[in-house]
A and B are shown apart, each in its own frame.
Chain A
Amino acid sequence: MTQEMSQVKTTAPLRNVALCMKALERAMNSPDHLPRMVSFSGPSGMGKSMAASYAANKYRAYYVECKSSWTKRALLEAIMLQMGIPAAGPIYKLTEQISEQLALSGRPLIIDEMDHIVNRSAVEIVRDIYEGSKAPILLIGEEMMPQKLKKWERFHGRILEWAYTQPADMQDTKLLASFYCRKVKVKDDLLETVTKAAKGSVRRICVNLSRIEDEAMGTGLSEIGLKEWGDRQLYTGEAPARRII
């Protein structure tokens, strides 16, 4: 195989996983007088979920994904389900119980799709939990999340770092190829084309890599490069151009 392989394969070397981990670890190691909330944002398809799951597994973080309909209570109940605590009682009680569990366990809290509640009062609950626990909290959302959070002034000042996703590069494609193309060898020239066509999106890279493996298997190739791929289309996320027959 041409794909580079480390001893144990994880998603850790992916650019956006690494960026996300760096932000979370900064929050976890932040001295007492500095805030412990960090934000990680960017457009969809950039591998934020992969980053979130790696971070959640690494530190056994409590993870919740917000829904746009969420009230304060819904958010609290979702976190409590994660903690295995029955959610009964008034909102301030639930907030206290969550804060206590976070503070004692030392485990971080990851709030994904934070933009869904950014215009709602549930945002204030996140701040209350943070104030009550000083626990490291990672907020994940789409690219406009930081902008929207600025509206909540008292919230904004508690963010230690605003991290942003970066476009996936050739290194990322190579690592992903080692996962998605196990049965065929994909040559670098094709991997480079895939990287370019994906325009930074991890999702598009993954879709193309599995297509490439499928095609190669289907045509009985054990090795595939740009030449073998020929004029087949790659998925670019755009509607295909009309074919003239």
Chain B
Amino acid sequence: MTPSERISADTRQSVWNAIREQRTFTSVSILNATSLEDLSSVRWYLSGFETAGYIKKTATDKSPHVFELVKDIGREAPRVRRDGSSITQGSKRDQMWRTMRILKIFDADELAMAASLEESPVDSEDARSYVFHLHKAGYLQLVQAAKHTGGMSRYRLIQSMYTGPKAPMIKKVRQVYDPNLKKVMYQEGRS
């Protein structure tokens, strides 16, 4: 996930929170309840939720339109784009993050194996890179170093470092970002 997508995920969540609070709303009432700066960006999110069937215009011809929440799926905002299609990016990292917690001790290949779904396979390279960065960032403890004859390093997820359900992100600038703590946990070249 790129930083702009992360920002957009946070904003989408704040729009969704306002929708759930108000149940019946207009784009203006959402604007007032969030830190968004203009109506057009509020509408951008609303149109995605509407196309995907989470909210509906009520039968009035008032302008601005009055919407109501018709499909409440709980606290977590639906991950949809403007055209209503669902966003799957980042979900492989979520799968790995979830799997680490369940497996407890693993190497990168085992993680890739256990985290893979038919519709969302995780490859070993990706698992290796993710594990490498999370170890650097202090989430993982090295349990057994790779032998030089082959084999892979085994790691354990440090219990107190399970910060929440959202997977820490490796950013393009080589950072590990924890969306639960909203904090950069590791940056390459800085110790």
Contact = CB atoms under 8 A, between A and B. Distances in A.
Contacts, number: 89
B103 A53 contact: yes
Contact of A218 (B114, B118, B150, B166): B150
Given A49-B104, A63-B101, A82-B165, A217 B149 contact: yes
Given A11-B116, A84-B164, A84-B180, A179 B109 contact: yes
B117 interface: yes
Given A53-B115, A58-B117, A213-B150, A84 B99 contact: no
A112 interface: yes
Interface in A55-76: 56-58, 60, 63, 65
B154 to A, nearest CB: 11
Given A12-B118, A84-B164, A105 B113 contact: no
Contact of B74 (A58, A63, A101, A183): A101
A175 to B, nearest CB: 10
B121 A214 contact: no
Contacts of B150: 183, 213-214, 217-218
Nearest to B152: A210
Interface in B154-173: 162, 164-166
Given A210-B151, A214-B150, A217-B149, A57 B75 contact: no
B59 interface: no
A78 B149 CA distance: 41
B98 interface: yes
Contacts of A104: 72-74
Interface in B65-123: 72-76, 94-95, 98-99, 101-104, 109-110, 113-118, 121
A85 interface: yes
Contacts of B98: 53, 56-57, 63
A65 B110 CA distance: 20
Contacts of B103: 49-50, 53
Contacts of A7: 118
A182 to B, nearest CB: 8
Nearest to B92: A57
A84 B180 CA distance: 8
8 contacts: A10-B118, A49-B102, A53-B103, A63-B102, A65-B101, A83-B165, A84-B166, A214-B149
